[in-house]
Each structure stands twice: as structure tokens, then as C-alpha cells.
Chain A
Amino acid sequence: MKRILIGSILPALFIASWEISSRTGLLTLESLSRPSDILRAGIAGLADGSILVATGQTFETALFGLAVAAVAGIIAGAVLGLSPVLERVVDPTIEALRPIPAVAFIPLALMMFGFGISMEATIVAYACVWPILIVTISAVKAIEPRLLEVADTLEMNFVERLRKIILPAAFVRINVGLRVATGIALVVAVTVEIVLNPRGLGYSLMLAQQSLRVDIMYAQLLWLCVIGYVLNALLRNIGPASIVLSRAGR
């Protein structure tokens, strides 16, 4: 409690001086608006549903891309983690593709899919697949070999093996990769929207700036902070993998 109090000193001072200086005319910069106006714009945006619609669009795309990345990354990671030979063969290709910034694929994705959810989700998937893939490979490599021998003696096929042995055994570590990827998914989705895709929170942020509705712009920025913060807190406590994968373990 005391820590929250101390922690709110600086933001409170900042906001108060911002409000006061803009009210007294000390600060007349158009790009600044006022805290009270920003709050009002935020409440209006939430009330008429415009912020929530945009949030829904962004989340939809982020989750879509994340799901594609998770499926692809976990399956490919399991295969490569089980076969050291294959991993060595594919590794240089992975290492060559990985450092290309995902956003650099925006023009290519635009050319292929046009504006809309597909191009955005493709970029999100490209950005998210690497942490999932890398973590899965190392997690599968770390599985106790005895467990895989059990699968051998039970003559399990690959899907059974993946469901009953590999995923549960590597679950904790894959979970870490998925958490990282979830954070990345939201950031990349917003980024693609800001750069050019006309949908979601990123776009409405750009729109607000371009139409000089500075109060709306700041309100949306604040909203992004809030959902980012809540998402982080959720991920720390549950992690998406426990929802997606807890059934696979049975």
C-alpha cells in the first residue's frame, strides 16, 4: 500500500502540473490537450464502443496470428527437437531468416493479401513463430530420453507422442515461449496498424493524430497502456499455454 502511494507521487505531480499549466494558459501547445479532456475523450470512446471495437479487431488479429505461430512453431519445434540431425540441417536457414525484422515483411504481405486481417496476422505469425520455435526445440531436447523410450515401446505414432509425451513433458518451458510470443503479438499487430493497415487500435490512434483530435489520441494511448498492463499481469499469473494445452496433457 505504501509502495503504491510512493509510486503514484511522480505521475500525480506530472498530471497535476500538466492540467494546471494548460488551464492557466501557461501551456498552450496544441499537441498537449489536458488530462481532464483526455479522460473525458476516453470515457466517451468507451461509452460509444468505438475503442472496444478497435480493441476487438486488434486482439482478433493478434490471436489469429499467434495461434498460427503456436501450431506451426510447436509442431516444427517438436520435430526438430526430436531429431538432432534435422535440427542441424535446418538451423542455418532459421538463423538467416530470424534476424529479418517482421515489420520488413509488411510491404510483401500487403502485396500478397491487400489490406485486412490476413496480411496483419501473417506479420504477427512471422514475428511470433521464432520464440515459440526456439523454446520448443530446446524444451523437447531436454525431455528425459526414458520417456521417449516409453513411447517407442508403446508404439505410439507421432500425433500420440506429441499429445501424450512431448507436450506435457515440455509444457512448462513451451509456456514461457508462448508468453513471450503473446506480448509480441499485440505489439506487432498495433505496429502493422499504425504503419498502414486500416483497422484496430493502431489505426484509430493514427486517425486521431491526423485529424488533430489530440485528446482522443492520448486517451487511446492510455487505453493501450491499460490493456498491455492487464495482459502482462494475466500472462504472469496464468499464461496462455495452460488454457490451450492443459487438455492436451490428459
Chain B
Amino acid sequence: MQVKAKQTVGGGKAAATTPGMSMYQVSLSYGASSPERRLILENITLDVREGEFLCIVGPSGSGKTTLLRMLSGLVKPTTGEVRFRGQVVSGPSRERAIIFQDYSKALLPWRTVAGNIALSLEAEGMRPADQQPIVAALLSKMGIVRAANQFPGQLSGGMQQRVQIARCLAQRPKILLMDEPFGALDAMTRQALQDEILILSGEQRMTVVFITHDLEEAIYLGDRVVVLGDTPARIIETIDVDLPRPRDQLTTREDPRFLAHRHRLFGLLRRH
């Protein structure tokens, strides 16, 4: 089954030996005393390689989102440690951008599209004059130039999610953490954004951790797919996706290896 990738466009294949991010024996539980103590994540050890596109799938409510928040630093593990480029993660940082599923709640509704993107630049104390060209470049990169002066409420879901991605890119992050970013979008828009994010991550050799409950999306996007089992969440399986890049909505999805992976993942999740 092992087929070597010939191209590296769209999702970096060249995995470095030092991990970009890692979780070592991480567990998380809520509640102090034993009766109401709830274990959310159990003993998770995970490496995210520099430049790879890692997808995490699992049943809904399995703690995928919590895991992602831990990588960002928004949630601290009860035991174990999370490291970013060798450093223990102690809190959130602009180096690790997080893209929320619910774009309508994550954008500032009172700021225009351009204003939302500029927020990330204000955070590093950049002067307004210097912000302008960067915002303009991101607007055109995400194809939202015409919406620059509109408010998020005026835009379609796909456009709003583009704005959120642009704002995260403005952070110039080292890693992109995406929490079911396309889950609420219609099928056409979802596919368009899948391809855009593949191109983006390929161009900039960006490390991406992408959470989804859509198995096909995970296979289509990922270099590897991590399968989580639920309550408490733990890693059941990690599979390498040996599909060539660049990927294509038609041919990739018809590739027998794609179908084989899908078959396997489906079986894994059904059993748990």
C-alpha cells in the first residue's frame, strides 16, 4: 500500500525529525473530588511533525476540541505536558493560531472585515500605517477584497470563515489549529475551502492540526489521520495517508487507496 509522494505542493510531506508540537502522556479531568471527577482525555501521546497536515477524527463529544485547545494553550493538562518546538506550552501564544468552528462567534461583529484582520496586527503593536499593506495582501490572498469594508453579518458563512482564516494568518503563526472549521458550511463551499487551505499550507509549509468528524475530509486533507475514541478520549490509531499531492476533489476521492482508508477509519470508529 505504501506509495511515496512525488510532489510536495499542498501540504508539506517532508517531515522533520524534531517534532513541531508534541503531547506527552497528557490527561485532563474536571472536578476535584473522586465521585464527580470526569476524565476527558486519557494518556495522550502525540507528535505533530513540522510542516505536516495532521487530521484528528473522532465521534462528536469525544474531546477533540479540548485536545486542540490544549495544543493552543487555552486549556492546561491535568497531568503530562504539551510542548511546542521543545518548549513547554504554558499558555496561548500568537505563534499558534486557532480557527474556531463557529466563525460568527469568533469574529468581531462590530468591525469590518479589514478591521477584523487588523486585530491580529494591533496585537503585536503594529502602527496602523504598517498594517494596511498586510491587510490588503491577506484580503486578496483569501479572495475577500470586495468585502473589505463590509461587516461579518453581511457575509455568507464561507466568506466569514475566510475572514477568520485571514485574521489567523495575520498572526504569522507557526502552526494553524483548526477546529472543524468547515463543519457548518454547505458542501460546495466546504470543498472550495478545503482546496484553499491545502494550497495555503503547502505554499507556506505551515504545520496544521485539523479537527473534523468528517472522515473523508480528514483523508483528503491530511498527511496523517489520528483516530480518537471517546469518553475518555484516547488515541486508537494513527494512519499515514499515502495519497499523492496535489490532491483533487475528483481523482483523489476516487483513488482506491482513498476508499481503502475510508473503509478502515469507518470500521475503527464504528467499533468504538
Q: Do chains A and B touch in the complex (CB under 8 A)?
A: no
Using a CB–CB cutoff of 8 Å, the interface residues on chain B facing chain A are none
Using a CB–CB cutoff of 8 Å, the interface residues on chain A facing chain B are none
